[in-house]
Structure 1
């Protein structure tokens, strides 16, 4: 069975423009790593494991791949990839302001039946982003050529619940006429 049911979905439509739709299955034959091997073969994919006190496996594991939006920044250059099309922007201030502007257009409807995190921008902010917040003198050369920041938005997220031994496959219905976030 898919959740939410149709009447509940219609009621949620007035609360935001991203509504989670999910199905729960048993996780008795699947692990986060085996699912990641099956799903995470794209260029942009992730497996987030929660750990408590540095030793114990936490309650949830999160998997995503094939994002509908990728945000990359390198110095003042931003690249936004949507549905395979790349858009290049230049900024003079913090590139994360552009990400905030993109994210401001989306209001996710939360569900008590899903973990507090059930989708959103996944990624990193590298050390070199500090130049937008503090004045630094750069002496090191950039030999790795990695983005200063990279975030992605997955349309579908796989959530392992290690306590209940279940998997929730969550996709977002987009209600504002946009094709994707």
Structure 2
């Protein structure tokens, strides 16, 4: 059975446009890592949550199948969504574009779920600071060729 039911979903839809739809799945034979290895796709993640110095994670978060990806390198931002690509070059601050894209989503909190049950996942690298702080070059920029920023909005999340 899926939650929330249709009646509650319609009420929640009045509060926002990013509403977790979930169901409980018996997975007592899987570990978080074995479940992660079963996920399809190039883009996926596994996070473990540890709260208050606990030894074991309270929750494991797994995601696959991103609906949208935002990637930034230097002054160029690429947004991939639904098979379409949009590029912005000579961007003053890539975080402004990220904020604009994120503002399109209004997450609806469901108290029965953990604090994270959906949203953007990824990283913002150190070099992004150059867009809002005047920092003199003291070292070579990173040479791995990684994006300065890479965020994904996942459609499928397991907790």
Instruction: With the length of structure 1 as denominator, give the TM-score of the two structures.
Output: 0.81
Tell me if 1:148 matches 2:142. no
- Structure 2 gaps of 5+ residues are none
Name which structure has the greater RCO, CA cutoff 8 Å, separation 6+.
1
Task: State the partner residue of 1:37.
Answer: 37
C-alpha distance in structure 1 between counterparts of 2:51 and 2:88, whole Å: 39
Residues 10-159 of structure 1: pairs in structure 2 closer than 5 A: 10-39=10-39, 41-52=40-51, 56-138=55-137, 139-159=139-159
Q: How many equivalent pairs are there?
A: 158
1:16 shift after superposition: 1.1
C-alpha distance in structure 1 between counterparts of 2:110 and 2:65, whole Å: 24
C-alpha distance in structure 2 between counterparts of 1:13 and 1:19, whole Å: 7
Higher strand share: 1
1:124 shift after superposition: 0.6
Instruction: With the length of structure 2 as denominator, give the TM-score of the two structures.
Output: 0.91
SS at match of 2:35: helix
Q: Retained in 1: the 8 A contact 2:18–2:105?
A: yes
Q: Retained in 1: the 8 A contact 2:77–2:91?
A: no
- Structure 1 gaps of 5+ residues are 160-181
Q: Retained in 1: the 8 A contact 2:76–2:91?
A: no
Tell me if 1:3 matches 2:3. yes
CA-atom RMSD, angstroms? Answer: 1.6
SS at match of 1:4: coil
